[in-house]
Chains A and B, each alone.
Chain A
Amino acid sequence: DAMVIQNPRYQVTQFGKPVTLSCSQTLNHNVMYWYQQKSSQAPKLLFHYYDKDFNNEADTPDNFQSRRPNTSFCFLDIRSPGLGDAAMYLCATSIYAGNTGELFFGEGSRLTVL
Chain B
Amino acid sequence: AQSVSQHNHHVILSEAASLELGCNYSYGGTVNLFWYVQYPGQHLQLLLKYFSGDPLVKGIKGFEAEFIKSKFSFNLRKPSVQWSDTAEYFCAVTPRDTDKLIFGTGTRLQVFP
Q: How many residues of A contact B (CB 8 A)?
A: 24
When distances are taken between beta carbons in the complex, the residues of chain A under 8 Å from B32 are 99-101
Partner of A43, one of B45, B49, B103: B103
Does residue A87 face the partner (Cβ distance < 8 Å to B)? no
Question: Is B46 among interface residues, defined by CB-CB distance under 8 A?
Answer: yes
Known: A4-B43, A108-B43. A103 touches B101 (CB 8 A): yes
**How far, in angstroms, from A105 to B51 measured CA to CA in the complex?**
20
Interface string of A43-59 (1 = CB under 8 A from B): 11100101000000000
Q: Is A85 an interface residue (CB 8 A)?
A: no
> Inside 8 A of B4's CB, which chain A residues have their CB?
42
A81 within 8 A of B: no
Contact B43 A107 (CB under 8 A): yes
A66 on interface, CB distance cutoff 8 Å: no
Main secondary structure of the interface of A (DSSP, over half): loop
Q: In the bound complex, what is the Cα–Cα distance between A45 and B98 (angstroms)?
A: 13
Contact B103 A42 (CB under 8 A): yes
B75 at the interface (CB under 8 A from A): no
Give A28-79 interface residues, CB cut-off 8 Å to B: 31, 33, 40-45, 48, 50
Kindly report which residue of chain B lies nearest to residue A44, judged by CB atoms: B103
A86: interface (CB < 8 Å): no
> In the assembled complex, which residues on chain A have CB atoms less than 8 Å from the CB atom of B34?
101-102
Task: Verify A106–B43 contact, CB threshold 8 A.
Answer: yes
Which B residues, 10 to 57, have Cβ-Cβ distances below 8 Å to chain A? 32, 34, 36, 42-46, 49, 51
- Residues of chain B within 8 A of A96, CB atoms compared: 99
In the complex, what distance in Å separates the CA atom of A30 from the CA atom of B41?
27
**Interface contact A94-B42, CB-CB below 8 Å:** no
B100 lies within 8 A of chain A by Cβ: yes
Q: Which of A31, A45, A96, A105 has the most CB of B within 10 A?
A: A105
CA distance A92 to B104 in the complex (A): 17
Partner pick for A41 among B51, B92, B99, B105, CB 8 A cutoff: B105
Identify 20 residue pairs between A and B in the complex whose beta-carbon atoms are under 8 Å apart, listed by A's number. Answer: A31-B99, A40-B106, A42-B4, A42-B90, A42-B104, A43-B44, A43-B103, A48-B99, A92-B101, A99-B97, A99-B98, A99-B99, A101-B34, A101-B92, A101-B94, A102-B46, A102-B49, A105-B36, A105-B43, A105-B45
